[in-house]
Amino acid sequence: MKVLITGGAGFIGSNLVRFFNGHSPATEVRVLDDLSTGSIQNLAGLDVQFTHGSILDYDLLKETARGVDAIVHLAAIPSVPRSVAAPRPSHDANSTGTLNVLEAARELGVGHVSVASSSSVYGSNPVLPKSEYDWTRPMSPYGVSKLATEGYCIAYNFSYGMKTLAFRFFNVYGPGQAAGHSYAAVIPKFLEAALAGEDLSVHGDGLQSRDFTYVETVCAVILDAVQNKTSSTDPINLAFGTNTTLLELIESMELHLNEPLKVIHAEQRVGDVRASQSDGRRVREFFPSVVPVSLDEGLAKTIEWFQSELRMKSGN
């Protein structure tokens, strides 16, 4: 089997390459990434064919995808705040880029395409836990672009009979997730501050909640979907129904680090969702063999990776 992972040099993508190498070693893995948010260092030591370029370069995309059996489309400009600051690049990469991927797959006869959408599509919908059949109301340009991502994916299933699957990711975390930049996700941002002995900055009261999903669980689901060509005309929440506030997350970090952490509160960010939690039903129905990694176990592995990286940088 041959698989193309767009955005494969990013956090989730590089973990997915590693997961394919370990759990499906006969699979030929290709990556297309413009390295705008990913890093070639993320693929060091992995068995992968890397192409440096953008999904907005349609000719290059088609050439890279030629002959593959499946495409896992992860390439995107992530981050709600980034999209609020600059909406057009998010639209171009996330919406137009997805259309390019699907068109290339259709022209080349690729057998299966899965795409990464986001829980941000639910936006202002207050219902918890969230089902894929609940209404969506994005609160940011990023959320809108991800709604377009899954919409195109599902439309190609209906219109052309393509085997497609749209996953809604919920706060994926784990080893390899970048910190140290203004748009960093909350767990690496908190861990970087904690390990540096700095205050943890919480936007709002800290009672906003998330359905944190360990990256290895995400990879297991995607591999299963690719191998079985799993297809659906409805999206699937790739989360298993946990509900953790940021203050509870900090408490867990304190237990793992065995030290108190100081929190300072900042203004709530524009476009941020108050609460996010999946009901976990469809992902369990479609992928019954996947056992999700618990937050406690995933957090321990993530902290161990961050500590290891810190030791390497300090030369200890």
Going from the C-alpha of 257 to that of each of 167, 179, 311, the distances in angstroms are: 33, 18, 15
Helix or strand (DSSP H, E) at 266? strand 263-266
- Backbone region of residue 35 per phi and psi (left: phi > 0; alpha: psi in -120 to 50; beta: other values): left
CA distance 171 to 153: 21
pLDDT per position as a tens digit, 54-82? 999 999 999 999 999 999 999 999 888 89
pTM as predicted: 0.94
Per-residue pLDDT reduced to its tens digit, 156-165: 999 999 999 9
- Low-confidence stretches of the chain (pLDDT beneath 50): none
What's the rounded Cα separation, in Å, for the pair 307 and 196?
A: 10
Mean pLDDT of the chain: 94
Give the separation between CA 176 and CA 41, rounded to whole angstroms.
10
pLDDT for the residue numbered 183: 55
**Whole-number Å distance between alpha carbons of 153 and 116:** 10
278-313 burial: b if 16+ Cβ within 10 Å, else e: bbbebbeebbeebebbebeebbeebbebbeeeeeee
Query: Which amino acid does the sequence have at 158?
Result: F
* Domains and their CATH numbers in the chain: 2-173+214-238 (3.40.50.720)
Q: Can you give the pLDDT at residue 181?
A: 60
pLDDT at 6: 98
pLDDT at residue 218, rounded to an integer: 98
